[in-house]
């Protein structure tokens, strides 16, 4: 699973500006230096270090990764610092799920992955609860699915599969609205990892739930857990991820109503599900979790701009992972760390960026983009006047293909950059050529217009009167993809 990768990015406006011409000679030299300094072995070693241990936000091993990133920046002579926040996170204590068949037999279903020393499968911020009830299959758990189902799910445990375009939290919210007592969510994509569980959070909104709108720094106000503004961020019914194998064990035992025709064609485990329930299978589901104030750390390196030091270009990625995080997010963090290394090579040969560059390593993204949101909330005024662009990378390497999303201002920049990058998978062509020939490329315009949930800064800022930010997020392909930097020199 450990992919070795190279990344990415970089922005630049001055590339588009006529007055950058006067820098072009020097610029060319620095560009070649930047490109020639890429190295898969350094990225590989960063990735190895980052993924040695599971590094869930709020745990000792994740503060170790913060230290690793900080030491990396300082060893490169980059000006660096960390910011800490005490925020409300959520961890599992105990859970169990058993299936009770009509013939009297029952079976405990596995809720852990075989052989992995990682946090138990759970949905962060799910309430604790214990439910003994009939199971019902609700497809993707969308409103239209409940309508198609036409079955009363009140008091039942609903099983939903991922993929209908709803966020995890929304699936739970809809189930709650329809009267369900608990929700189990599985991923029926693919046949390769049927014992795996997809952890995630079910909180509404982003940021620390007890400091909505302001930075959760030492001494700042905290709302009580009983405050309505806090309570409405969390679901009222417990939920849990289950593996595809566990889902099949439950779904294959259901009776009563037949699977609606509309759902049948897209079901991956076609032979398995014939009926949707309710029951007669009963499930006994118990989840015990705790919400706990924990310390998280963002880490930054700042490279001061020479011409416009008060204009900031931010490059960021989160650092916390549900488990080992080889792809999400460490492939991106390894790339970010290599970028820092290469910037430092340029700096020691006399390069100065035109604008200030801030490298950001965020904590507790998996819990609801908490580290980045707290920092933005803390620095809102400053960022509103100084930040000109935010570039995010999360999973830098994840299967084949190139995926990018941005606000429209960066469309042409992305196209230009991808033209300069060699496609690591096909000899002699650029990423742009492969991308534009693919489905994603054909829909490129659409893709570029989309703003993913990961682009938290714009979300945070759009809820304020401050606008004018430009954002993008990049995911790269299965092999080495050294996107390059140009223009800002
Ligand atoms: C570099 O500068 C020289 C002299 O000013 C000019 O003739 C040449 O075209 C420049 N090279 C580039 C790549 O712009
Ligand atoms: C780096 O890339 C080269 C050339 O593709 C390859 O031979 C080498 O094994 C790679 N090193 C690592 C550490 O992946
Ligand atoms: C978890 O549940 C099991 C079985 O119900 C019980 O034996 C164990 O003590 C529980 N652990 C915690 C931490 O509550
Ligand atoms: C009950 O049914 C299940 C599934 O058909 C079967 O595996 C199990 O052996 C049965 N148990 C009894 C006690 O008949
Ligand atoms: C359901 O599971 C819980 C926790 O394991 C247990 O205490 C309870 O007795 C079970 N209920 C039924 C009806 O099996």
pLDDT in tens, the chain (489 residues): 222 222 333 333 333 333 444 556 677 888 888 878 888 899 999 999 999 999 999 999 999 999 999 999 999 999 999 999 999 999 999 999 999 998 889 999 999 887 678 999 999 999 999 999 999 999 999 999 999 988 999 999 999 999 888 999 999 999 999 999 999 999 987 667 788 899 999 999 999 999 999 999 989 999 999 999 999 999 999 999 999 999 999 999 988 888 888 888 888 776 678 888 898 999 999 999 999 999 999 999 999 999 999 999 999 999 999 999 998 899 999 999 999 999 999 999 999 999 999 999 999 999 999 999 999 999 988 888 899 988 888 888 887 778 888 888 888 888 888 888 888 788 899 888 888 887 655 544 334 433 333 333 433 333 333 334 455 565 543 322 333 222 222
In a domain, 249, yes or no: yes
Residues 44 and 127 in one domain: no
Please check whether residues 165 and 60 belong to one and the same domain. Answer: no
Domain boundary pick from 257, 280, 303: 280
Domain total in the chain: 2
Domain identity same for 30 and 145: no
Tell me, yes or no, whether 285 lies in a domain.
Answer: no
- Report how far ligand 2's centroid is from the alpha carbon of 48 (Å): 15
Residue 107 near ligand 4, beta carbon < 6 Å: no
284 Cβ inside 6 Å of ligand 5:
yes
Mutate to test the pocket of ligand 4, among 98, 101, 253, 281 (most ligand atoms within 8 A of CB): 101
**Do 155 and 251 reside in the same domain of the chain?**
yes
**Which residues are CB-neighbours of 390 under 8 A, at least 6 positions away?**
314, 315, 316, 455, 457, 458, 469, 470, 471, 472
In short, whether 32's Cβ falls inside 6 Å of ligand 1 is no
* Nearest CA residue ID for atom 9, ligand 3: 94
**Based on C-alpha coordinates, what's the Rg of the chain?**
24
Listed residues 221, 250, 280: the one ending a domain: 280
Q: Give the CATH number, domain containing residue 318.
A: 3.40.630.10
Q: Does residue 363 sit in the same domain as residue 419?
A: yes
User: Nearest bound ligand to CA 44?
Assistant: 2
Domain co-membership, 233 together with 360: no
Residue 352 lies in a domain: yes
Q: Which of 19, 25, 486 to mutate to test the pocket of ligand 1 (most atoms within 8 A of CB)?
A: 25
Is 120 within 8 Å of 112 (Cβ atoms)? Answer: yes
244, part of any domain: yes
Distance 288 CA to ligand 1 centre (A): 68
Closest approach atom of ligand 1 to CA 24:
14
Residues, the chain, total?
489
On whether both 379 and 462 belong to a single domain, the answer is yes
In a domain, 319, yes or no: yes
Residues 183, 139, single domain; the answer is yes
Please indicate, yes or no, whether residues 276 and 304 belong to a single structural domain of this protein. Answer: no
Q: Could you list the residue range(s) of the whole structural domain that residue 132 is in?
A: 102-280
Ligand 1: which residue has its CA nearest to atom 4? 25
What letters, b where the CB count within 10 A reaches 16 and e where it falls short, cover 208-223? Answer: bbbbbeebbeeebebb
pTM over 0.75: yes
Please check whether residues 263 and 312 belong to one and the same domain.
no
- With respect to residue 153, please indicate whether it lies within any of the assigned structural domains: yes
CATH number at residue 185: 3.50.30.30
Cα separation of 85 and 479, whole Å?
36
The three-state (H, E, C) secondary structure of 20-85, written as one string = HHHHHHHHHHHHHHHHHCCCHHHHHHHHHHHCCCCCCCCCHHHHHHHHHHHHHHHHCCCEEEEEEE
Question: Which of 212, 245, 280 is the last residue before a domain boundary?
Answer: 280
Does residue 327 sit in the same domain as residue 365? yes
For the record, the structure tokens of 115 come out as: 């052989």
What are the tokens at 72? Answer: 């990396």
Q: Evaluate whether residue 22 is within a structural domain.
A: yes
Atom of ligand 5 nearest to the CA of 96: 5
Could you list the active site residues?
A: 365
Same-domain status, 132 and 182: yes
Q: How far is the CA of 196 from the centre of ligand 5 (A)?
A: 24
| Residue 489 within a domain | no
Nearest to 315 by CA among 369, 391, 409: 391
Residue 316's DSSP bridge partners are 360, 392
């Amino acid at each position: 699973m450990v992919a070795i990768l190279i990344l990415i990015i970089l922005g630049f406006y001055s590339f588009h500006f006529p007055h950058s011409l006067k820098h072009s000679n020097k610029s060319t030299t620095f560009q070649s230096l930047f490109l020639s300094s890429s190295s898969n072995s350094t990225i590989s070693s960063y990735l190895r270090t980052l993924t040695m241990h599971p590094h869930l936000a709020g745990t000792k091993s994740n503060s170790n990764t913060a230290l690793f990133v900080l030491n990396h920046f300082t060893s490169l002579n980059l000006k660096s610092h960390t910011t800490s926040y005490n925020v409300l996170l959520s961890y599992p204590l105990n859970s169990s799920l058993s299936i009770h068949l009509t013939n009297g037999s029952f079976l405990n279903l596995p809720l852990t992955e075989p052989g992995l020393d990682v946090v138990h499968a759970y949905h962060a911020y799910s309430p604790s609860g214990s439910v003994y009830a009939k199971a019902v299959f609700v497809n993707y758990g969308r409103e239209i699915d409940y309508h198609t189902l036409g079955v009363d799910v009140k008091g039942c445990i609903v099983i939903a599969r991922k993929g209908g375009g709803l966020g995890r939290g929304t699936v739970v919210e809809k189930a709650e609205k329809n009267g369900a007592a608990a929700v189990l969510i599985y991923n029926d994509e693919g046949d390769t990892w049927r014992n795996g569980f997809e952890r995630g959070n079910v909180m509404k909104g982003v940021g620390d739930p007890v400091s909505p709108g302001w930075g959760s720094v030492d001494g700042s106000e905290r709302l009580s857990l009983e405050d309505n503004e806090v309570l409405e961020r969390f679901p009222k019914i417990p939920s849990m991820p289950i593996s595809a194998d566990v889902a099949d064990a439950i779904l294959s035992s259901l009776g009563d109503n037949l699977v609606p025709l509309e759902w049948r064609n897209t079901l991956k485990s076609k032979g398995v599900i014939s009926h949707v329930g309710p029951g007669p299978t009963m499930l006994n589901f118990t989840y015990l979790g705790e919400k706990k104030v924990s310390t998280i750390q963002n880490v930054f390196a700042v490279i001061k701009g020479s011409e416009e030091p008060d204009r900031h270009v931010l490059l960021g990625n989160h650092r916390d992972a549900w488990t080992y995080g080889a792809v999400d997010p460490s492939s991106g963090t390894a790339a970010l760390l290599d970028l820092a290394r290469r910037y430092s090579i340029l700096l020691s040969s006399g390069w100065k960026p035109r604008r200030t560059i801030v490298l950001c390593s965020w904590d507790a993204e998996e819990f609801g983009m908490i580290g980045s949101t707290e920092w933005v909330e803390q620095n809102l005024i400053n960022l509103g006047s100084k930040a000109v662009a935010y570039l995010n990378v999360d999973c830098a390497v994840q299967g084949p293909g190139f995926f990018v999303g941005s606000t429209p201002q960066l469309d042409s920049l992305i196209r230009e950059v991808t033209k300069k990058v060699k496609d690591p998978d096909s000899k002699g062509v650029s990423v742009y050529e492969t991308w534009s020939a693919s489905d994603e490329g054909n829909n490129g315009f659409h893709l570029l217009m989309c703003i993913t949930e990961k682009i938290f800064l714009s979300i945070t800022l759009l809820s304020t009167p401050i606008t004018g930010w430009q954002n993008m997020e990049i995911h790269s392909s299965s092999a080495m993809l050294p996107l390059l930097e140009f223009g800002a020199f």
